[in-house]
Amino acid sequence: MSNLDTRPEETVCRTAADDHAVALLLEPRDVPLGGLRGIHVDRLLPQRGLPTVGAWCFLDIFGPNNTQMSVLPHPHTGLQTVTWPLAGEIHHRDSVGSDVLVRPGQLNLMTGGRGVAHSEISAGGGELLHGLQLWVALPAERDDMAPAFEQHVDLPVFARGGVRATVFVGELAGERSPATVYTPLVGADLTVDAGSRATIPLRPDFEHAIVAVDRTLVVSGVEVPPARLLYLGTGREDIMLSAGRQPVRAVLLGGEPFADELVMWWNFVGRSHDEIAAAREDWETPGQTRFGVVHGHGGARIPAPELPRIRLTPRRHGHRT
Q: Which residues bind Mn ion (CB under 5 A)?
A: 1
| Min separation Cβ 203 and Mn ion, Å | 29
Minimum CB distance to Mn ion smaller for 77 or for 242: 77
Q: Residue 84 or 206: which CB sits closer to Mn ion? A: 84
For the stretch 299-319, what's the b/e string if a residue is b when 16 or more beta carbons lie within 10 angstroms of its beta carbon? eebbebeebeeeebeebebee
- Give dist(CA 269, CA 261) in Å, integer: 10
Q: Which residue lies nearer to Mn ion by CB, 1 or 179?
A: 1
Element (H, E) at 58: strand 56-66
User: What's the min distance (Å) between Cβ of 43 and Mn ion?
Assistant: 14
Q: Which residues contact 59 (CB under 8 A, 6 or more apart)?
A: 43, 44, 45, 132, 133, 134, 211, 229, 253
- Asked if residue 189 lies in contact with residue 84, where contact means CB atoms within 8 angstroms, the answer is yes
CA 16 to chain centre: 27
∠ CA(211), CA(77), CA(61), 5° rounding?
A: 20
Comparison of 91 and 317: residue with beta carbon closer to Mn ion: 91
CB of 300 to Mn ion, least distance (A): 15
- DSSP notation for 193-224: -TT-EEEEE--TTSEEEEEESSS-EEETTEEE
End-to-end, the C-alpha distance of the chain in Å comes to 32
Q: What are phi and psi of 278, to 5 degrees?
A: -70, -40
State the nearest-atom distance from the C-beta of 180 to Mn ion, in Å. 18
User: CB of residue 165 vs Mn ion: minimum separation in angstroms?
Assistant: 26
Q: Which is nearer to Mn ion, 206 or 266 (CB)?
A: 266
Cα–Cα distance between 17 and 290 in angstroms, integer?
47
User: Closest-CB residue for Mn ion?
Assistant: 1
Q: Cβ 61 to Mn ion, closest distance in Å?
A: 15
Cα gap 177→106, rounded to integer Å? 12
Residue number, 1 or 217, with CB nearest to Mn ion: 1
Question: Is the CB of 63 or the CB of 233 nearer to Mn ion?
Answer: 63
Handedness of CA 163, 193, 109, 229 (dihedral sign): negative
Pick 35 or 124: Cβ nearer Mn ion: 35
d(CA 133, CA 2): 10
Bridge partners for 199 per DSSP: 240
CB of 287 vs Mn ion, minimal distance in Å: 22
Shortest Cβ 309–Mn ion spacing (Å):
25
Shortest approach of Mn ion to residue 119 CB, angstroms? Answer: 8
Among residues 60 and 207, whose Cβ is nearest to Mn ion?
60
Question: Contact at 8 Å (CB) between 96 and 292?
Answer: yes
